[in-house]
Amino acid sequence: MSGIHNEQKVAVFVDVQNMYYSAKNLYGKKVNFKNILTKGLQGRRLIRALAYVIRADIPEEQSFFDALDKIGYEVKIKELKTFYGGAKKGDWDMGLAIDALNISSKVDVVIVVSGDGDFQALINDLKSKGVRVEVMAFGKSASKESKESADHFLDLDHNSSQYLI
């Protein structure tokens, strides 16, 4: 892939919920976040890797959060909100975007691990600042906008077994 060299400083931002549900719905499996980090870096210098998660008070979630931490992610946790009437919401789109913009002056490359089309404005803004933006996601569930606006799109559907557990 052109545009990659070992001296590049890289920050990785993972929308865990988006990736979790994509893998579950497409393959009935879980995501191998360690392999995603390794593949995304491709030997480049990691500055920060952040994983954005929602706490839903499921017994096994803390061990999952700990596993993410152990493989090199800073885990950012937000509580699941329950609204009047029972509707539930939890999303990190704004937090992820703000963090990516804040670190953009310190890195050469931002990798967004999500197929969410809501990140198109972020991708375009980072690119306008001279930052290379790469998106990693399962292509079947990734937005057309993210695929097209990124400098590089890595489709995890190709060789999917490498990115699934």
> What is the model's pTM?
0.93
Q: What is the mean pLDDT of residues 20-36?
A: 96
Q: What is the mean pLDDT of residues 98-105?
A: 98
Pairwise CA distance, residues 34 & 58, whole Å? 22
Q: Where are the domains of the chain?
A: 9-163
Q: How large a percentage of the chain has pLDDT more than 70?
A: 93
CB contact set of 98 (below 8 Å; sequence gap of 6+): none
Q: Is 9-163 CATH 3.40.50.1010?
A: yes
The reported pLDDT for the residue numbered 91 is 76
The reported pLDDT for the residue numbered 89 is 61
